[in-house]
Amino acid sequence: MITVSKLSVAYGDFQLRDVDLELREGGCLAVLGPSGAGKTLLLETVMGSRKPDSGTVHLNDKDISSLPPEHRNIAYIPQDLALFPHLSVRENIAFGLKARNLKQSIVSDIERIAKVLGIEHLLSRKDIRTLSGGEKQRVALARALVVNPRVLFLDEPLSALDVAASRELLHALRKMRRELNPTMFLVSHDLTEVCFLADEVAIMIDGRIAEKGPLQSVVSCPKSLASARFLNMRNVVAVADVAEFLPELAKSAPSGSTYLAVRPESITVSTNIDSESFIGTVADIVTLHSNALLMLALPRFTLEASIDLEQSSSLSLGQNVSIHLNGSKILWLQE
């Protein structure tokens, strides 16, 4: 559907560099990354609002790199939504249909999209200023979807909403994906939002794609250090630091791996210490609802382990414990 090849574009002192991406028809590709990573600049370039300095954007094998957005049959929902305050809800949704002279099915199309998004009851609303933030987002979505665009571009769709409104909109977006199957290009800094909507993800850090692939693969098993840190992976440790305590584990690191990550639930601890034990000191115990987090201090780093509440009650600060890492659950990372 959309293929981005070696795309580079400068904006002031910032630059996107050599971006390669693919978005299949009916899929949702999410570009995930921190603020300032270049996500919106990438979205604007792919949709045609900015021209790339180098590289190409293809839509169905046609090079559209120089084609303006209005000739691409796409829809875009900006962060500020850009609804028209002088128009009613129905008129806002119909705006794109009228602009494209698609008037023959205007009533049925509006009502169909409004039903999917759960805003049928708002169609008679005259003043959009009386709508909540979440309702305005749904009206903007309806206006974008009613023209049946080839690709729907979404820029941080939940950024202006509170927690409750965000969750409602996420469920509405999932329902919309199931029933209408639009092709979506999403940029976001919110992992929950991406997990709800995307099937492919690319993590962008400082103008470059650090990692890309199927959502579950990238989120569960990142392969780059930058991705792991952005995803807030626990227990990211340099292989060189581990080598002093677990030399055999360090030797098993795949070629090019300089860091490892292990989830707290993949670490077990015991008070039975022998000469073969990997030993740490209990630095802190944080009691949660159904488990406890154990902070284990070692000379060069700290590990965080998830243990059950019963075990945590038998431990004390400053106590030495033996530590076991589940080798099959270790993630090996490259810089």
- Note whether residue 226 is domain-resident: no
CATH of the domain at 49: 3.40.50.300
**pLDDT tens digit string along 124-166?**
888 888 888 888 888 888 888 888 888 999 988 887 777 888 8
Q: In the 8-state DSSP scheme, what is residue 220?
A: H
Token pair listed for 55: 């590289």
Same domain, 268 and 157: no
Query: Do 211 and 285 lie in a common domain?
Result: no
Clarify whether residues 213 and 246 are in a common domain.
Answer: no
In the chain, count of helices (H) and strands (E)?
11, 18
- Same structural domain, 240 and 211: no
Q: Quick check: is 299 in a domain?
A: yes
- Are 217 and 240 in the same domain? no
Residues sharing a CB contact under 8 Å with residue 169, sequence separation 6 or more, in sequence order: 134, 137, 138, 157, 158, 161
| Tokens read off for 183 | 């092709």
Q: What residues of the chain score a pLDDT lower than 70?
A: 98-107, 275-276
β-strand pairing of 278-287 with 320-325: antiparallel
Where do the H-state alpha helices sit in the chain?
Answer: 39-47, 89-99, 106-117, 133-145, 163-180, 191-197, 215-220, 225-230, 239-243, 247-251, 309-312
Contact in structure between 18 and 8 (CB atoms under 8 Å): yes
Into how many domains does the chain fold? Answer: 2
Asked if the structure places residue 227 within a domain, the reply is no
Among candidate residues 221, 244, 261, the one where a domain is terminated: 221
pLDDT for position 99: 63
Domain's final residue, options 221, 244, 277? 221
Q: Which residue, among 137, 148, 144, has the nearest Cα to 181 in the 3D structure?
A: 148
Tokens of 50: 């900015």
What pLDDT does 56 receive? Answer: 93
Structural domain includes residue 28: yes
Q: What pLDDT score was predicted for residue 31?
A: 96
Q: Contact, 315 vs 305, CB < 8 A?
A: no
194 and 261, same domain (yes or no) = no
* Other residues' Cβ atoms within 10 Å of the Cβ of residue 324: 14
Predicted confidence at residue 238, as pLDDT, reads: 92
Query: Within 13 A of 109's CA, how many CA atoms are on the CB side?
Result: 19
Q: Looking at the structure, tell me whether residues 283 and 195 fall in a common domain.
A: no
What DSSP designation does 330 have? P
pLDDT of residue 184: 93
Please check whether residue 125 is in contact with residue 85, taking contact to mean a CB–CB distance below 8 angstroms.
no
Angle between helices 133-145 and 163-180 (to 10 degrees): 20
Within a 10 A sphere around the Cβ of 320, how many other Cβ atoms?
Answer: 12
Q: Please report the pLDDT score of residue 251 as a whole number.
A: 86
Of 149, 150, 142, 154, give the one whose Cα is nearest residue 95. 142
Nearest to 262 by CA among 329, 334, 328: 329
Last residue of a domain, one of 196, 221, 246: 221
Residues 30, 179, single domain; the answer is yes
Tens-place pLDDT, residues 18-62: 999 999 999 999 999 998 999 999 999 999 889 999 999 998 888
Q: Which domain holds residue 241?
A: 236-333
216 with 241, same domain: the answer is no
Q: What is the rounded CA–CA span in Å between residue 227 and residue 230?
A: 5
The whole-number pLDDT of residue 100 equals 65
